[in-house]
Amino acid sequence: MSETETLRAWLLTDTPTSRRHARLSSFYKGWLALRSNTMAMFGLAILVLLGLTAVFAPFLAPHDAFAQDLGNRLQPLGSDGNFLGTDSLGRDILSRLIYGSRITLYIVLLVAMIAPIAGLLVGTIAGYVGGWVDLVLMRITDIFLAFPRLVLALAFVAALGAGIENAVLAISLTAWPPYARIARAETLTIRSSDYISAIRLQGAGPLRIITKHVWPLCISSLIVRVTLDMAGIILAAAGLGFLGLGAQPPSPEWGAMISEGRRFILDHWWVATVPGLAIFTVSLAFNLLGDGLRDVLDPKDGGTQ
């Protein structure tokens, strides 16, 4: 057999020889299951393209995203030198879309690093400790869940002040409760299992049990939830930008671009429609990928962990 076939057989074995071998085998089988999902791979391809666009924005953008040319304003799609037309200040829409992908990824990555971690901490502590700690933490979680996310984000941004950083913080503060609920439910199931009792009898403390044995089993559910939530996070960020509470002009944030173009929607529809389609495409990509990851990672659906 060739080296590739040998490696594949080693990864697909049902009798792993070590913990590392088992982990690699699980990852590879999960990747094969994900790769067989056409729609999930389509979403992944869009997100990879988005990432590459953000990284290589200075090389891909045909024009300066901030340069104004009032003599070239509101040019239609396909006009000379402006493939997606220009906005009300003569700025190239394609270039602004390309640079706007950086802001979108910036928001997504920051929220993905803040909200799930906060929810994981709250949920696992509440589920493992129980008692009045669980009661207090879950009532606080319920208070946050009682408000619509965008309305609560608007309240936080109004208190903190407009700006992209404050928008990210506001979205993170409104996004953590579902993760806390998921982590708590997983922890309640795990803490009563036999192997946790055996670990406790061996002398492991609560901190070690939570970090070494509970968290790893909660990660797969959180990854699925994060991926599916990204569309809502992008829409919330775009909504704040549309209302002038997110990224401030002249930043090429997609929601702010829609806000600017709404004044010309009847006669110059592309100014608002093009960034709207960009938001729709990226949100759809996250949903498609999230559905595929749920099939692979969620053991309730027959996936692998």
Provide the CATH number for the domain formed by 28-64+85-301 in this structure: 1.10.3720.10
Q: How far is C-alpha 140 from the chain's CA centre?
A: 24
Mean pLDDT of 217-238: 86
Question: What's the mean per-residue pLDDT of the chain?
Answer: 85
Per-residue pLDDT reduced to its tens digit, 51-103: 999 999 999 998 888 888 888 888 888 887 788 888 888 899 999 999 999 99
pTM (two decimals): 0.84
Is a pLDDT exceeding 90 seen at residue 25? no
What pLDDT sits at residue 277? 93
Average pLDDT over residues 222-235: 86
Whether 302 shows a pLDDT value over 60: the answer reads no
CB 154 within 8 Å of CB 245 = yes
Integer-rounded Cα Rg, in Å, for the chain is 23
Q: What is the pLDDT of residues 129-169, one digit of tens each?
A: 888 999 999 999 999 888 888 888 888 888 888 888 888 88
**How far apart are the C-alpha atoms of 161 and 143, rounded to whole Å?**
23
Tokens representing 140 are: 């606080």
Asked if residue 299 has pLDDT above 60, the reply is no
- pLDDT reported for residue 2: 66
Average pLDDT value for residue range 230-242: 87
Residue 304's pLDDT is what? Answer: 42
CA–CA distance from 20 to each of 17, 23, 134 (Å)?
A: 8, 5, 35
pLDDT at 146: 87
Would you give the end-to-end CA distance of the chain in angstroms? Answer: 29
